[in-house]
Amino acid sequence: MSASSSWRARASCAQPAYEGRRDMWFAPIDSPDAAEAKQVCAGCPVRQACLTAVMAEEGAANRHDRHGIRAGLTGRERRRLYERYRRADAEQDQHAKAAA
Ligand code: SF4
């Protein structure tokens, strides 16, 4: 089993309790199902690995191309987080150039 598939097997959303309920991760954002999905993500043991994977997969995609709730975040929330990371990287580059 690869490192990537091992964390996916431990994901809360991959457990039998959610078999047949996986649509809730793609429910309308303001629905009770979406709130439940976020709650499940909040307690997921592999949330950080999930977040790292989804940020790498989605890259600079706009919020409309970020589907469903992943790592407890909506597409809009993941887009905002991406922008925060991007700004932090840019600041780091500026500091590195200034120090050189
Ligand atoms: S954080 Fe949420 S979407 Fe990610 S693996 Fe866990 S339950 Fe699934």
Question: What is the 90 CA–ligand 1 centroid distance (Å)?
Answer: 29
Please tell me the distance from the alpha carbon of residue 65 to that of residue 8, in angstroms, as a whole number: 22
**What pLDDT digit, counting tens, does each position of 6-51 carry?**
999 999 999 999 999 999 999 999 999 999 999 999 999 999 999 9
Number of domains in the chain: 1
Domain residue limits at 30? 3-99
What is the Cβ-side half-sphere exposure of residue 17, based on CA atoms within 13 angstroms? 7
Distances (CA, A) of 69 to 1, 13, 85, 89, 91: 26, 11, 19, 25, 29
Amino acid at 49: A
Residues 6+ apart with CB under 8 A from 7: 46, 49, 50
Q: Which atom of ligand 1 is nearest to the CA of 70?
A: 3
Q: What is the pLDDT of residue 3?
A: 56
Q: What is the pLDDT of residue 38?
A: 98
pLDDT-based confidence at residue 63 (cuts at 50, 70, 90): confident
List the residue whose alpha carbon is closest to atom 8 of ligand 1.
13
